[in-house]
Amino acid sequence: MTSLVVVVTLALATQQAQPPERPAPPSAVAAAEAARAAEAWIALANRNVAEAEEQLRRLQTEFPNSSQILALAVEVDLMRRNAESALASYERWRSGRDFEDPSVLRRIAQAVLREIAADPSHIRRLEALRALADDGDREAAASMLEAARKGSVADIAALAAAGHPQAIDRVAEALTRPVPNKIALVEALAEGGATSAIPAIASMLDEPRPEHRAAAASALGRLGARDHVERLRQILKQPDEPPYVRLAAAAGLYQLGDSSGLAQLQTWLRSPVPAMRLAAAEALVARQDARPDGEWMSTVRELQQADDPAVRLGAAKLLAPHDPAAARATMQQLASSDDILLAATAAAELADV
């Protein structure tokens, strides 16, 4: 399936991926580092950022490889500047090293989400709030509930994606009306496992806009809507349907255990359009019993060289379970992107590889 690129894919970096063991420094050096760093942390706690930054410069010279000093540098950047600056500091520290620091990546990912959540006009604000709420941020959870109570249908979609029953009902009802951005609403319902919304989603298969039909076909597969297999087969056989609609139908069918569109998915794996190849590759491994073959692996490797950075990141995520080193190399490159959301997404994904 092809999912919307959302902030939720920042996927707050977990603590599971740990850097390799490194030799412990001599105790005297470690004690000196800890004592000096503590002074800088105290300065930060007292909101004396200038003093903390001055101490940080000296500490970075004296302890250039220290993860503790890296964490301090990130906090200074977040307090004085923003998450983009913190990510740049991390990348400078990361250069030349063969390991990540998951806890620092997590901190940066949280900061990116909080900056987005604090901007009422940001298109991804609710999705950022949801990611923070899923991570245990009570303030973000409260903000989501308030948005659901007072906000628009688009606002409540993020809550529906988290599986909130009342939000699901409201979003499903909205699909029967001419509301904007129906694709995002369908994505939210599918992500929230909203099986009660299947009838409303299925009704979109008859809408005039092809992108709506594609979103509905994909969502029905994700929700296990086996009662709609025959309708998806009909869409798959329609020669006048745009290719991406038929691809979505084939993907939905395959996820439902129906191989009617398998041959076409394999054909689309060789499409000249990188996004189509990526969507086909995603569809072919969406089932738990999927076994990628040599052609799939070759295609995904090629997609890591695509012009579109979002396609490269999608390919790296697909490749990660099979070739972590290659996936990490692509993600590391994208983590240095000028696009802060792309960079933060790639950096956070690194912690899971």
The pLDDT of 60-83, averaged and rounded, is 86
The token pair at 251 is 């993907």
d(CA 318, CA 353): 11
Evaluate whether 94 touches 100 at the Cβ level (below 8 Å).
yes
Is the per-residue pLDDT at 285 higher than 90? yes
Full DSSP string of 206-259: G-S-HHHHHHHHHHHHHTT-GGGHHHHHHHHH-TTS-HHHHHHHHHHHHHTT--
Task: With cut-offs at 50, 70 and 90, classify the pLDDT of residue 23.
Answer: very low
d(CA 247, CA 316): 21
Record the pTM: 0.64
Task: With cut-offs at 50, 70 and 90, classify the pLDDT of residue 20.
Answer: very low
Residue 14, pLDDT score: 36
Residue 155, pLDDT score: 67
Tokens 């991926």 found at = 17
Q: Closest Cα partner for 149 from 126, 124, 127, 128?
A: 126
Poorest-confidence range of 114-128, 145-159, 306-320, 337-351?
Answer: 145-159
Residue 183, pLDDT score: 93
d(CA 325, CA 321): 10
Is the per-residue pLDDT at 77 higher than 60? yes
Poorest-confidence range of 69-83, 210-224, 251-265?
Answer: 69-83
Task: With cut-offs at 50, 70 and 90, classify the pLDDT of residue 28.
Answer: low
What is the chain's percent helix, strand, coil content, to nearest 5? 70, 0, 30
More confident site: 353 or 209? 209
Residue 87, pLDDT score: 85
Residue 9, pLDDT score: 34
Evaluate whether 69 touches 59 at the Cβ level (below 8 Å).
yes
Residue 77 CB coordination number (10 Å): 22
The pLDDT of 62-72, averaged and rounded, is 85
The token pair at 201 is 């989603």
Indicate the residue type of 19.
P
d(CA 258, CA 6): 29
Is the per-residue pLDDT at 320 higher than 90? yes
Residue 154, pLDDT score: 64
**Model confidence pLDDT, tens digit, residues 229-274:** 999 999 999 999 999 999 999 999 999 999 999 999 999 999 999 9
Residue 148, pLDDT score: 64
Domain positions in the chain are 124-195
The pLDDT of 145-151, averaged and rounded, is 69
Is the per-residue pLDDT at 147 higher than 80? no
